[in-house]
Amino acid sequence: MILITSSSTSPVRARISSKVVRSSHASRITWETCVGVRGDQSINPFNGELVKSFDEHTDQQLETATATAATCFNSWRKLSFAERAVIVSKAAAIMRERAEKFARPMTLEMGKLFAESLGEVQLSADILDYYAPHAERFLAPEKLKPSSGEAVVESSPLGVLFGVQP
């Protein structure tokens, strides 16, 4: 299963039959196996009840989702670190405001205690708040001191990534 997070509020899922995913908007991705993955259903591990079913998406829907993500990426990469920090900080604030909404699926789908799920949402918001003002410094070019010549380590955005979910 492939999970692509796009600008919509719900994840896009697609069943992939081969070991290689190709898209005109994403890098070639390989993995060893997805045998046994049940990504089309969310099951509560506590009681075995079905939480939600997800329809499979067509190749065209997958291509549309990656194109949307690529458009978002191309806009994001043009923003300054200060502009990005505002957005990331806002995301942290939204996570805190809607903590119960974000925690509930974790409890249902992963069997976590609700208090643990709330703590995970808080931790995630804290991480966003930490990186928002520090990203520019963390991602600044780093000059190395090789024995001969010059070397610099630079961080550059690469593009759309797929997240393979178990």
- Whether residue 100 is predicted with pLDDT greater than 60 in this model: the reply is yes
pLDDT in tens, 29-68: 333 222 223 347 888 888 888 888 877 778 888 889 889 9
**Separation CA 27–CA 137 (nearest Å):** 27
DSSP code, position 22? E
Lowest mean pLDDT across 65-69, 81-85, 91-95: 65-69
Contact 106, 112 (CB under 8 A): yes
Domains of the chain plus CATH, in order, are 2-153 (3.40.605.10)
**Separation CA 9–CA 62 (nearest Å):** 16
- Whether residue 103 is predicted with pLDDT greater than 90 in this model: the reply is yes
Cα 121 from chain centre? 15
Contact 101, 114 (CB under 8 A): no
**Separation CA 98–CA 92 (nearest Å):** 10
Task: Indicate the pairing of strand 50-53 with strand 41-43.
Answer: antiparallel
pLDDT in tens, 110-152: 888 999 999 999 999 999 999 999 999 999 999 999 999 999 9
What integer pLDDT is reported at residue 164 of this predicted model? 54
Q: What's the number of CA atoms in the CB half-sphere (13 Å) around residue 81?
A: 11
Residue 1 has which token pair? 């299963």
What's the pTM? 0.66
